[in-house]
Structure 1
Amino acid sequence: MALTIAAVGLAGCETEVTTGPGTPGQARAIKPVQASASALPPAEALKGAVKALDTTSYNFGIKAGEVSGGGRIDPAAKSANMQLTGEVEKISISMAYIVIAPNLWFKGDFGDELNQHWGLKPGAWLLIDKTKLTSTASLPINDAGAPELGVTELFKDGLSAVERADATHFTGTVDMTLANSILAPSEDTLKGAGAKAKAVPFTATTDAEGRLTSFKIDGAGIDPNLSMELTFTGFGSIQPVTKPSNATKAPDSVYDLFN
């Protein structure tokens, strides 16, 4: 899947993402999804599994190509982190976000020339002043500063033709034109796919408690950039998201990445 990377100012570039999950750590109490999820209609059961990600902490992974990363989300603490590394249009990139509402930190490395242009120092965390942002659409936060990485937002409204292969496996289609986050396909990808982007095939898997463990979008037959695989692990047992040490205020030049 081509990820919208307006967030890193690489105009016209598309990223493809793989990711590894975070490391298990301190546990948080969680509520089981629904013990009788297998008795629900397929669409209702799957939407319930997606919605459940809003109420428990988890690690997530993304796999889609030449960029790799991962992260974790804790809805109760309104905190999250995300790391992405790889190559976009022959440019090596590395970027990471930490969100602890209402604060957002960023670090990035795009090579000497771009680093100098944007005032970046590899490995250095920068505190982002949200009042200097013209929009949060290209960042992993909502307007209130809470984490919104696009992991669940991508699927809440666009699932159709959902069928159940068995108690834990689902198929259907997802409308990728409804995506509006840093995980959304680029405008060029959607334009090229046309109406087909409204019904991209997917497969999904839940665990015995009805929690979503994987979601694979298979758009290869339409456009390779409409393919993505997400994994979810560590429900209720992730390391807490903590703010970076020695962070400094972002220079004005950094905001060219986001605005």
Structure 2
Amino acid sequence: MTVRRLSAGLVAVALFTPGVAACTTTGDAGPSATPTATASATGAAPEVDTDAKQALLDSTREISNGNFRFSMTGAGSVAEGQVHQPSQSAEIKVRLGESTDDLAISLDLIHAKPDSWVKLDLQGQAATSVPGADRLNLGKYHHLDQSRIKGNRSLGFDFDKVDPAGSEALTQAVTEVRRTGDGAYAGTLDLSKAADAGSLDPSVITALGPEAKSVPFTAKTDAQGRLTEMVIQLPEGSRPAGQEIKVTYSDYGNATAATKPSADQVVEAPPELYNLFD
């Protein structure tokens, strides 16, 4: 595993790239929720459940208010954190790889407008081969230059687009959906229409080719109709094969302001840090 391949998926918006070992996650959707699109005996396309689709579209509205906790898992990566729009702050913790891998990286990102910081933890036998590792693996937060991370899918955060997973884009890409239970849904979506969703690296969509237009998913909402879970099952022909991507939301309205690191725990980010995430 090379450093360059690893760095391509280091943060929430770029977790799920081809070429990284897959991980298997489990959901609690039963057989009735298996997201398969079926055609009628005449070969006609399945009838769209417009009520179910609208319910999914509506389920992401509360996310735009920017007060929630979230998690994303897939391809050996985990990201979790919270967004607190009232204080213009967010915290995201990312783990890519396992401690037994040649190289594993953990990140602790803090955004508190107008500042951002990231603390890296490089582990594994290959950690010392990362350029500038002695300046990165300090156990302290690196203060980031906003002019260098603006628009960066790895280190930046856009408080005008507060959802790291991009679930609004995903629900808008739904092509078929049906209810499978109380607050439970299953169907297919066209990932080629969801390239802006942060839970997918665009290279994954490109690699899927025509298969990207009909990808199975399941979703869950809470009693208030707010999205709590979405699971996307990439086709078996994808790389990694059959990869599952899971996004969850919780604690709507109950997130808290991010805690800024103290001055004695902060250093200015060196050039090697920005190079790693380019």
Provide, for residues 194-231 of structure 1, a one-character-per-residue CA deviation record: whole Å limited to 9, x for no partner: 11112211110111111111111112434236521112
CA distance in 2, matches of 1:42, 1:240: 34
Corresponding residue of 1:124:
140
RMSD: 3.5
CA distance in 1, matches of 2:205, 2:78: 22
Structure 1 residue 196 corresponds to structure 2 residue 176:
no
Could you tell me how far 1:140 is from its partner in structure 2? 4.6
Q: Does the CA-based 8 Å contact 2:221-2:228 persist in structure 1?
A: yes
SS at match of 1:141: coil
SS at match of 2:136: coil
CA distance in 2, matches of 1:228, 1:43: 20
SS at match of 2:170: coil
CA distance in 1, matches of 2:24, 2:95: 9
CA distance in 1, matches of 2:132, 2:7: 24
SS at match of 1:109: strand
Corresponding residue of 2:69:
59
CA distance in 2, matches of 1:103, 1:15: 33
Corresponding residue of 2:244:
227
Give the 3 Å change call, closer, same or farther, for CA 147–86 of structure 1 in structure 2: same
Give the 3 Å change call, closer, same or farther, for CA 97–59 of structure 1 in structure 2: same
Bigger radius of gyration? 2
Corresponding residue of 2:154:
138
Name stretches of at least 5 consecutive residues in structure 2 with no aligned partner. 1-5, 26-49
Corresponding residue of 1:166:
181
Structure 1 residue 211 corresponds to structure 2 residue 226:
yes
Report % sequence identity.
23
CA distance in 1, matches of 2:215, 2:18: 23
TM-score when scaled to structure 1?
Answer: 0.75
Provide, for residues 41-91 of structure 1, a one-character-per-residue CA deviation record: whole Å limited to 9, x for no partner: 111111111122112522112222422341111233332111122418742
TM-score when scaled to structure 2?
Answer: 0.71
Could you tell me how far 1:145 is from its partner in structure 2? 8.0
Structure 1 residue 78 corresponds to structure 2 residue 88:
yes
Give the 3 Å change call, closer, same or farther, for CA 129–12 of structure 1 in structure 2: farther
Structure 1 residue 243 corresponds to structure 2 residue 266:
no
CA distance in 1, matches of 2:161, 2:141: 19
CA distance in 1, matches of 2:228, 2:7: 21
CA distance in 2, matches of 1:156, 1:44: 9
SS at match of 1:155: helix
Q: 203-212 or 171-180: which moved more?
A: 171-180
Aligned AA (1:104): S
CA distance in 1, matches of 2:136, 2:259: 22
Corresponding residue of 1:35:
none
Corresponding residue of 1:5:
9
The structure in which a higher percent of residues are helix is 2
Q: Does the CA-based 8 Å contact 2:116-2:143 persist in structure 1?
A: yes
Could you tell me how far 1:180 is from its partner in structure 2? 3.1
Name stretches of at least 5 consecutive residues in structure 1 with no aligned partner. 20-39
Q: Does the CA-based 8 Å contact 1:173-1:202 persist in structure 2?
A: yes
Q: Does the CA-based 8 Å contact 1:67-1:85 persist in structure 2?
A: yes
Could you tell me how far 1:116 is from its partner in structure 2? 2.9
Aligned AA (1:241): A
